[in-house]
Amino acid sequence: MRPQNIIPLQRCPSLVIVTDTPKGRGIFTSASIPAKTILDICPVLLLSPEENKEHIEHTSIYHYTYNWPLTTPTGTKTTTQALVFGLGSMFNHSSVAQNVVWERDVERNVITYWALRDIDAGEELCISYGSHLTFTDTDTPAAEPEGDGTDQLNQIQLD
Ligand SMILES: C[S@@+](CC[C@H](N)C(=O)[O-])C[C@H]1O[C@@H](n2cnc3c(N)ncnc32)[C@H](O)[C@@H]1O
């Protein structure tokens, strides 16, 4: 075994799964975590673009995959999907309270997650999924209705 092919695993011991959040299951911490702490190191399974398009996109697994850069045998650079094992598949998205960052190791097919800042006991650990969400973000306040105001006026009850 070459030393660079041995990846020591590391998981922050205070992490817990909460099963009934507005986002479904979520990862929280039962103790404070200092900034830059490694939270988890997760292996990934690379899915080919073909199996992704033909199968995975039609299943709920798709909502657990990450974009992953791929160089084809002919040298073309493209993007495929990867399924992340471990806690990586469980981090919810937050646009307002992201406290976790992650980095791909494309050579060894792992992702490492870190605390972006000091995190307090009881906080949910959230990453950012970017701006193209496939669900309604419970962290984002509902948009104000657009229009000429008639809708809002119609909701006011007159005695
Ligand atoms: C990778 S999974 C995260 C774990 C998931 N909550 C579960 O219970 O399995 C991604 C899914 O979590 C939910 N989710 C994540 N972040 C969310 C958010 N900010 N608002 C609402 N739902 C969210 C969505 O259903 C999304 O498709």
- Distance (angstroms) between ligand 1 centre and the Cα of 17 equals 13
Which top CATH class is 3-155?
A: mainly beta
Structure ipTM over 0.90, yes or no: yes
Candidate from 42, 135, 140 with most ligand 1 atoms within 8 A of CB, to mutate: 135
Question: Which DSSP letter does residue 95 get?
Answer: S
Which of 49, 48, 14, 17 lies closest to 33, judged by CA? 14
- Distance (angstroms) between ligand 1 centre and the Cα of 147 equals 31
Residue 74: what residue type?
Answer: T
Its pTM stands at: 0.88
What does the pLDDT read at residue 98?
97
What distance in Å separates the CA atoms of residue 98 and residue 121, rounded to the nearest whole number?
A: 15
Residues 154, 155, 158, 159, Cα dihedral to 10°: 140
Print burial letters for 124-154: b (CB count within 10 Å at least 16), e (below 16): bbbbebeeeeeeeeeeeeeeeeeeeeeeeee
Q: Does residue 138 line the site of ligand 1, with CB under 6 A?
A: yes
Give pLDDT tens digits along the chain (159 positions).
888 899 999 999 999 999 999 999 999 999 999 999 999 999 999 999 999 999 999 999 999 999 999 998 899 999 999 999 999 999 999 999 999 999 999 999 999 999 999 999 999 999 999 988 999 999 986 665 555 544 433 333 333
Q: Where are the domains of the chain?
A: 3-155
- pLDDT tens per residue, range 5-35: 999 999 999 999 999 999 999 999 999 999 9
- pLDDT tens per residue, range 131-141: 889 999 999 86
